[in-house]
Amino acid sequence: MPTLAEPRVRRELPEVEKSIRFIGVSDLAADINPVAGEISRAARGSRLPIFYLGRQPYRPVWELQRQLHAWRVAGEIPDVVLLLEHEPVYTLGKHADERHLLSSRPADAEVVATDRGGDVTYHGPGQLVGYPIINLSRRDPFGRDHRPSVTWYVRGLEEVIIRTLAAFGLTAARIAGLPGVWVGQRKVAALGVRLARWTTMHGFAINVGVPRRYFEGMVPCGIPDYGVANLNDCLPGPVSVQEVARRLAPWLRGFLARRDCQINYWR
């Protein structure tokens, strides 16, 4: 199991203003280039820059991932993490069974076939999505201690999410043979990744407060015998997607062996 460094933060939520830098952004759907360029410039000043993009449509963010991936493979930028919410969309992995996307699904959700692993999943408002662009090669010039192993990487992301949920007082776990993070028999976080030249794309999604009608429009991840839960279903009071992002960031830093971690919020 991957080892995570203990975050050097207080147990209570730190002051937002101390960890967030606000950056203006143009319409991502219209043109990814200004955003990609700004991320590239900002990334050079941090060991693990984390960018919160707000609510965005799926396809432009996928294209943004491709651009950042190419720069990461070329060694032009360090590792980068994108956090965001999507507009409603069902995505299908490379080997997904289309029968798991139901005709009863809400009509306002787009459907996109992707190049990630996994089956059918949903992204939308009320869900924290994370796209780490990480070079797992031992030969990485930035000198990180990663392993060229898909299993190591996926189990590490699961552990990051498990410990993040523990910060809210929630006990989560893995289920043998089923990727993701579970509370009892209900999945609260899904994972689906792609690696090319040992550099990652796609990532994870944590359900915070997703309307249940979107879950009912699919067989989540192609697993019919288990349910899906929101984080807010399991807590005594609601939390926001951004609050989950802030709790998650120190654990991502711990897993990725960084000494600093700044979240940059686009507005």
What are the pLDDT digits (tens) for 114-131? 999 888 999 999 999 999
Q: Structural domain of residue 148, as residue ranges?
A: 18-266
Residue 245 lies in a domain: yes
The per-residue pLDDT for 107 is 94
**Range 174-183 burial, b when 16+ CB lie within 10 A, else e:** eeeeebbbbb
Residue 110 lies in a domain: yes
Reported pTM: 0.86
How far apart are alpha carbons 258 and 112 in whole angstroms?
34
- Give residue 148's pLDDT band: very low, low, confident or very high (50, 70, 90): confident
Top-confidence residue, 24 or 155 = 155
Average pLDDT over residues 191-204: 95
Measuring CA to CA, which residue among 215, 188, 218 is closest to residue 204? 188
How far apart are alpha carbons 40 and 68 in whole angstroms?
8
Q: Is residue 261 pLDDT above 70, yes or no?
A: no
Q: Is residue 92 pLDDT above 50, yes or no?
A: yes
Structure-block tokens of residue 250: 């120190």
The catalytic residue among 190, 193, 221, 228 is 221
Contact assessment for residue 263 and residue 19, using Cβ atoms and an 8 Å cutoff: yes
The per-residue pLDDT for 19 is 40
Residue 53 lies in a domain: yes
Query: Of 182-186, 215-219, 258-262, which range is least confident?
Result: 258-262
> CA triplet 167, 172, 178: central angle to 5 degrees?
140
The per-residue pLDDT for 21 is 40
Residue 183 lies in a domain: yes
How far apart are alpha carbons 241 and 71 in whole angstroms?
28
Summary mean pLDDT of the chain:
83
Taking residue 237's Cβ as centre, other Cβ atoms within 10 Å add up to 6
Query: Of 27-31, 199-203, 253-257, which range is least confident?
Result: 27-31
- Give residue 259's pLDDT band: very low, low, confident or very high (50, 70, 90): very low
Q: What is the CA radius of gyration of the chain?
A: 17
What are the pLDDT digits (tens) for 213-251? 999 988 877 777 788 999 999 999 999 999 999 999 888
Residue 203 lies in a domain: yes
Taking residue 198's Cβ as centre, other Cβ atoms within 10 Å add up to 19
The per-residue pLDDT for 178 is 87
Active site residue 221: yes
Top-confidence residue, 240 or 96 = 240
The CATH number linked to 258 is 3.30.930.10
Residue 5 lies in a domain: no
Residue 219 lies in a domain: yes
What are the pLDDT digits (tens) for 4-55? 554 433 333 333 333 434 344 556 777 788 888 888 887 776 667 888 888 9
- Total domains, the chain: 1
The per-residue pLDDT for 9 is 34
